[in-house]
Amino acid sequence: MKTGMRLSWRAGLGFAVGAAVLFAVAPVALSDFRLSLLAKYLCLAMVAVGIGLAWGRGGLLTLGQGVFFGLGGYAMAMHMKLADAGPGEMPDFMQLYGQLDALPWWWRPFANPAFALPATVLLPMLVAFLLGSLVFRRRVRGAYFAILSQALAAAMAILLIGQQGTTGGTNGLTDFQGFFGYDLDDPVNQRMVYFIVAGVLLLLLALCRQLMQSRYGELLVAVRDSEERVRFLGYDPANVKLVAYVTAAGMAGLAGALFVPAVGIINPALIGIVPSIEFVIGVAVGGRASLLGPVLGAVAVAWARTTLSEEFPAAWTYLQGLLFVLVVAFLPGGLASVARLVRRRRRPPPDPAPVSPAPVLTQEVTA
Amino acid sequence: MSGLVVRDLRVVFDGFVAVDGVDLEVAPGDIRFLIGPNGAGKTTLVDAVTGLARATGSVRFGDDELLGRPVHRIARMGVGRTFQTATVFEELTVLQNLDIAAGAGRGVLTMLRRRRSVPAAVSSALETIGLADLRDRPAGALAHGQKQWLEIGMLLVQDVKLLLLDEPVAGMSHDERDATGELLRVVSADRTVVVIEHDMDFMRSFANTVTVLHAGKVLSEGTVAQVQADPAVQQVYLGVG
C-alpha cells in the first residue's frame, strides 16, 4: 500500500515535469523550426508508446506499425485535402494527373470530419483486430508474427505507390493549406499543432501507464512469458494479445493523424518497412518494457537521425544499425535500465530467498 | 465434489499409440497416483484430459465431457494441472502469480483497474502453501520447491476441483517432499487429486489409490499394497525398486 502511494506520487510528479518541459520550456527554448521538428518526434514517440505495450509487455514484435501509422495519416491527409479543395471539388493532385473524372467513392466519406477524425484511430484498430484475430488464434507468434507484420507494411507501401491516381503514389499526400480552418503556414497555428501533439502524447502515456499497472498489464506479462500456462489458468491468450495489439494500432493511427498537420506530408516512404523497423529501434534503444523508455528512445533516435544525417547522410543507416546491435547485445533493458544498473552497482545485492518455509506448512496441517 | 471418469481413451501421435484404450475412475476426494515406466503414457493421459493432446474416447469430470474442448474452457470447468518443470511467471511476484490464477472470470472493468486489495482466496492460498512472507518476491527468485508450491497455490485460487500434478516432488529435498505430501492431503479434503510420480517413497507415504500404466495401458489398479503385490507390476516396474 505504502509503495503504491509513493509510486503514484512519483508518477504525478513525472507527468508534471513532462508537461512543464513540453508546454513551458520547449516552446520558449526552441525556434519555430526546432519546435516543429520536436512535434514530428513526439508523433513518432506515440507510435513507440504503443510498441512498448505490445512488444515490451506483450512480447509481440510488431515490425509493421507503419501500416497503422499510415492508415491514420492517410485518413487525416485525405480529409485535409478535401477540405482544402472545397465542397464537391477534387484534390489538386487528382486534377493534375487528370486520370479521374470524379472523386473515388472511398474518398467521399473523408470529407466529413465526423467520419475522418474517428477513422484515423478506429480504422487502424479495426485492421489490427481482424489481422490479430486471425493470427493469434492460429497461434502464430515470435519471428513468424514479426515477419508477417513486416510483410503487411511492405504490401501497403507497394499498394499506395501503385495507385498513383487516387493516393498520390510515391509523392503521397502533401501541400496542405489548412487544418480545420486554420492556416498551417502561420507559425502560431504550427505552435498550436505542437501543443495538441504534446497533449495527446501525455494522454497516451497516462493511458498506457494505467494499462501496464492494471491487472490486465500483469496478465499481459504473464502471456508474454508463458502463454501455455496462462491458457491452463482459464484465459484465452489470443484475446489478451489482441487488446495490446489493437491498442498499439490505435496509438499508431493517432500518431499518423497528427503527423500530417505537424509535418505536412504522408507518403509510402514514411510507412513502409524501413520506418516500421525504425520505430522498433527507437523503442529498443529507450527500453521496451518501461513506460518512458520508448518515448525517450524514439525522440533520441529521431533527433540523432536528423542531426547526423545533416552531417553524414550516408553514414546514418550504418550508425543506426550499430546502435541497435549494441543495445540488444549489451543493454537489453535499453536506456531506461541504466539508472537501475547504476543503483544496483552501488547497493549490495538483496538477501537470497529464505530457504524452505516447510515447517510453517507442517505446523499448519497438524494444528 | 466430482470424480474423474475416463473411458477407452486413445491418443495417437503419427501412428504411435501413446495411450491405448485407458479406462480410469478416480473417486471424488481421492489422491490417485499414476505410476509407470518412462513412455507409459502418464503425461500424455494428463495432456488429453486437459485438452493439450487430441484424443478419442471419453473423459468426464462430474457431468461434463472434457474431450474436444479448448484448453482454457477445460480449465474454467475446474480442471487444473502443473507441469514437470515448474512454470510460474518468473518476472511477476508471488502475489501477482496467484492473483492472475484467481482471475479468469473477471470482467473487463476489473481487469483494467489496478489491484487494490488482496483477494481472500489469494491470501488463504498464501498461508496454505507457506509463501505468505515471500508474496512480494519475484517468482523467478524462489527456490525450486517453492515454485512447485506456488503452482499448487495457483491451482487452489483458480478453484479447480480436479488437480493433475506432473511430478510435483521431483528435485525436492526430503523435508520439502513431506511438506508437499501434507499439502496434498489438505487440498484433497474438498478436491480430487491425480499425481504422476516416479518417487516410490513419496507414493507409499501419500497415495490413497494407485494406477500403474504400462505401454499406454492400465496394468494394475488398487491400493498401494494391492498394486505392490501384483506380480505383473513387480515384473515390469516395482520389482526394480
Contact B72 A231 (CB under 8 A): yes
- Contact residues on chain A for B72, CB-CB shorter than 8 A: 231-236
Task: Give me A105's grid cell.
Answer: 467513392
pLDDT at A359 (0 to 100):
36
Residue A160 lies in a domain: yes
Chain B within 8 Å of A181 (Cβ-Cβ)? no
DSSP state of A91: P
What pLDDT does A317 receive? 83
Calculate the CA dihedral of residues A7, A11, A17, A20 and round it to 10 degrees.
Answer: -150
| CB-CB neighbors (< 8 A) of B91 in chain A | 221, 225
A225 assigned to some structural domain: yes
Q: Could you tell me the pTM of the whole model?
A: 0.89
- Sign of the C-alpha dihedral computed for residues B221, B227, B232 and B235 taken in this order: positive
Task: Name the minimum distance, in Å, from the CA of B216 to any CA of chain A.
Answer: 24
SS3 assignment, position A365: helix
Residue numbers in B near A229 (CB within 8 A) = 83, 87-89
Question: Would you say A282 and A301 are in contact if contact means Cβ atoms under 8 Å apart?
Answer: yes
CA distance linking residue A219 with residue A201, whole number of Å: 25
The reported pLDDT for the residue numbered B237 is: 65
Per-residue pLDDT of chain A (367 residues; tens, 9 = 90+): 344 445 578 888 888 999 999 999 999 999 999 999 999 999 999 999 999 999 999 999 999 999 999 999 999 999 999 999 988 888 988 888 777 888 999 999 999 999 999 999 999 999 999 999 999 998 888 899 999 999 999 999 999 999 988 999 999 999 999 899 898 888 899 999 999 999 999 999 999 999 999 999 999 999 999 998 999 999 999 999 999 999 999 999 999 999 999 999 999 999 999 999 999 999 999 999 899 999 999 999 999 988 888 888 788 888 888 988 998 888 888 888 887 788 777 765 555 444 444 433 433 333 3
Instruction: Give the per-residue pLDDT at A347.
Output: 65
The predicted structure's pLDDT at residue A39? 96
> What is the distance in angstroms between the Cα of B150 and the nearest Cα belonging to chain A?
12
A196 contact B CB<8A: no
Domain total of chain A: 1
Q: What is the ipTM of this complex?
A: 0.86
Q: Which residues of B touch A233 (CB under 8 A)?
A: 72, 75, 80, 100-101, 104, 154, 158
DSSP B67-121: TTS-HHHHHHTTEEE--SS----TTSBHHHHHHHHT-TT--HHHHHSPP-S--HH
User: Would you say residue A215 lies in a domain?
Assistant: yes
Instruction: Please report whether residue A67 resides in a domain.
Output: yes
In chain B, whose CA is at the least distance from the CA of A8?
Answer: B114
For range B28-54, the mean pLDDT: 92
**Chain A residues closer than 8 Å to B118 by CB:** none
Which residues fall within 8 angstroms of residue A106, CB to CB, at 6 or more apart?
none
Tell me the CA distances in angstroms from B236 to B38, B99, B219, B224, one per residue in order.
11, 44, 9, 16
Q: What is the mean pLDDT of residues B199-204?
A: 90
CB contact under 8 A, B179 and A231: no
Q: What is the pLDDT of residues A26-41, one digit of tens each?
A: 999 999 999 999 999 9
What are A336's strand-pairing partners?
none
Q: What's residue A1's pLDDT?
A: 39
Interface test with A, best of B69, B71, B73, B176 (most A CBs within 10 A): B71
Please indicate, yes or no, if residue A72 is contained in any of the structural domains. yes
Residue-level pLDDT at B171: 86
- In B, minimum Cα distance to A222 occurs at B89
Which residue of B106, B129, B142 is in closest CB contact with A215?
Answer: B106
What is residue B21's three-state secondary structure?
Answer: strand
Q: Which of A215, A220, A230 to mutate to test the interface with B (most CBs of B within 10 A)?
A: A215
Q: Is the pLDDT of residue B186 over 70?
A: yes
Give the domain range for residue A104. 34-271
Q: Which residue in B has a C-alpha nearest to residue A237's C-alpha?
A: B72
Element (H, E) at B31: strand B31-35
What span, in angstroms and rounded, lies between the C-alpha atoms of A267 and A172?
Answer: 4
Residues on chain A touching B89 (C-beta within 8 angstroms) = 221-222, 225-226, 229
CB spacing of B91 vs A230 below 8 angstroms: no
Q: What is the pLDDT of residues B160-185, one digit of tens each?
A: 999 999 999 988 889 999 999 999 99
Q: DSSP assignment, residue A169? A: G
pLDDT of residue A268: 95
Tell if the CB–CB gap between A211 and B112 is shorter than 8 Å. yes
Q: How much is the pLDDT for A361?
A: 42
Minimum-distance CB partner of B75 among A234, A358, A360: A234
**B-chain residues near A354 (CB < 8 A):** 133-134
Residue B234 is predicted with a pLDDT of 83
Q: Torsion-angle region of residue A11: left (phi > 0), alpha (psi -120 to 50) or beta? A: alpha
pLDDT score at A4:
45
Shortest CA distance from B78: residue in chain A: A234
Residues in chain A closer than 8 A to B143 (CB atoms):
353, 355-356
pLDDT single digits (tens) B115-164: 888 999 999 999 999 999 999 999 999 998 899 999 999 999 998 999 99
Q: Give the number of A-B residue pairs with CB atoms closer than 8 Å.
A: 121
Residue B45 near residue B111, CB atoms below 8 Å: no
Residue type, A216: Y
Residue A162 lies in a domain: yes
Annotated domain spans of chain B: 1-78+194-240
Residue B191 has pLDDT above 50, yes or no: yes
Contact criterion met (CB < 8 Å) for A215 and B76: no
> Is A365 touching B (CB cutoff 8 A)?
yes
Contacts of B97 in chain A (CB under 8 A): 222
Q: What is the CA radius of gyration of chain A?
A: 23
From chain A, pick out residues whose CB is under 8 angstroms from the CB of B158: 233-234
The predicted pLDDT at position A348 comes to 57
- Which residues 218-237 of A are in CB contact (within 8 Å) with B? 218-219, 221-222, 225-226, 228-236
Asked whether the predicted pLDDT for residue B228 surpasses 90, the reply is no
CATH topology of domain B1-78+194-240: Rossmann fold (3.40.50)
CA-based nearest residue in chain B for residue A57: B91
Spatial separation of the C-alpha atoms in residues A340 and A266, rounded to whole Å? 39
Q: Cβ separation of B89 and A221 shorter than 8 Å?
A: yes
Digit-coded pLDDT (tens) for A289-345: 899 999 999 999 999 988 888 888 788 888 888 988 998 888 888 888 887 788 777
